[in-house]
Structure 1
Amino acid sequence: MYDTILVPTDGSEQADAAIDHAVSLARAHDATVHLLYVADSNRDSVTTLGGEVVDALEGEGERILEEATERLDPAVDVVDAIETGGPVETILDYADLVDADVIVMGTHGRRGIDRYLLGSTTERVVRLSSVPVLTIREE
């Protein structure tokens, strides 16, 4: 049923809960988990360090993906990627690129005015995705 599971991560507890759930799915279906960090190009992230231009968000993404990969079951196939762009569009494009069968995403579980005012990447992915999206609320 699932061969390719996409899990966008930002290093949050909600994303970690989604990763844990995705790994359980991967074990059950012998699937590959794709961990994706999106370096949000809508944010100013370029800094100068020792004369070299370093994208701080990509550096943060490398750290987050490394930490996530270290805590995963080594029996599960994992592919990680850092993509630059707007989070929603990039997640949807990457899901198409890898032919994802499901996207597993964490959610804060906001309701009412908080959800309306703050918006939600997960909610927008759910609304726009042609791929099923499984949302996981961190306990």
Structure 2
Amino acid sequence: MIQNILIAVSGLGHAEEMLKTLKELPSIQQAKVTVLHVVPPQSTAESMTMKWEEGGKILANAIQSLALNPSQVSSILRQGEPKDVVCQVADEIDADLIIMGSRGLKRLQSILANSVSQYVFQLSSRPMLLVKDDIYVKNIKRIMVAMDNSDASKHCLNLALFLIRDIKGGELILTHVITDLGGEPTSTQVTPEQHPVLAAAAAEAKKQGVQPRCVLSMGKPGEKICRLAEELNVDLLLIGSPDRRPSIAKSFVDLDRLLGSSLSDYVRINATCPVLLARTAAA
């Protein structure tokens, strides 16, 4: 399911460390990796030459740091707007996963700072693993999936099952947050395993030989998901990010989504572990 990985490197952050951790998983070991560094446009030929040389060194250092099998890794050094080039290269290599560092900026800050990871997250339909600068990357043992009735969360479940299936001592945690007290059974009425959303997800996991742990809670989804991830010492959090924008708006950053109450946006900013965001449909 994950055969081609694109990692965008800038010389800073934990993206390379995250990829090294991922490559230790049996399910990822055969995946091919493309390491990308983008040189932004420069005003003079001299500065362009300097940035080009600097970019080559960043790529070389990243590849050396990753210590991957040479037959499984390739590198791309390209000039252009980083946010556009990452999306273009992801399409060119048909990436199954994009890995990027993130400063974890708040929504309005992301717009004002022209955040590359925020832009790519908005416009790419491909699964994206965001690694904030201020988190500690751990070996992946506990994977948590935030479940609801969306196709995006089911896609996350499938990705999690793919990742965890051969992890020795691995644990899959399925969580659902109840927000509409009148529309679904509460945690006082059913056990987590009996709740329709978690029961369906658990049944799918068991079909694939994984015995999950189900956690049901009540409250604001973003806050609850982030708190649970921290309390349960989760190493990787997966959450669906349904794309509700029409295709004609793909060339614009969705201010309504950024400034609104997007669950996935809240989680990517506030979670204390790496967050893998996934959608279902191609852009």
TM-score (norm 1): 0.83
Matched, 1:115 2:124: no
TM-score by length of 2: 0.43
Instruction: Specify the SS of the correspondent of 2:53.
Output: helix
Secondary structure in structure 2 of the residue aligned to 1:47: helix
Report the 3-state secondary structure (helix = DSSP H, G, I; strand = E; otherwise coil) of the residue aligned with 1:71.
Answer: helix
Structure-to-structure mapping, 1:41-120, within 5 angstroms: 41=41, 43-44=42-43, 46-47=45-46, 55-75=49-69, 77-111=72-106, 113-120=108-115
Q: Secondary structure at the match of 1:38?
A: strand
1:9 equivalent in structure 2: 9
Residue in 2 that maps onto 1:125: 120
How far 1:114 sits from its partner (Å)?
3.1
Aligned CA distance change for structure 1 residues 81 and 112 (closer, same or farther; 3 Å): closer
* Bigger Rg over Cα: 2
Q: Tell me the distance in 2 between the aligned counterparts of 1:126 and 1:106.
A: 12
Q: Which amino acid aligns with 2:90?
A: A
Provide, for residues 73-100 of structure 1, a one-character-per-residue CA deviation record: whole Å limited to 9, x for no partner.
Answer: 3347221110111111111110111111
Matches of 1:39 and 1:66 in 2, distance apart? 14
Match of 1:51 in 2: none
Q: Distance in 2 between matches of 1:113 and 1:37?
A: 26
Shift in alpha-carbon separation, 1:115–1:57, aligned structure 2, 3 A: same
2-side partners of 1:9 and 1:66: how far apart?
11
Pairing partner for 1:26 from 10, 23, 26: 23
Query: Relative contact order (alpha carbons < 8 A, sep ≥ 6): 1 or 2 greater?
Result: 1
Please, which runs of 5 or more residues in structure 1 have no aligned partner? 49-53
CA distance in 2 between counterparts of 1:113 and 1:130 reads 22
* Over 6 Å off, 4+ runs: none
Larger strand share, 1 or 2? 1
Aligned partners of 1:36 and 1:73: how far apart in 2? 16
Unaligned runs of 5+ in 2: 136-283
Structure 1 residue 68, shift from structure 2 partner: 1.0
Query: What fraction of aligned residue pairs are identical, expressed as a percent?
Result: 28
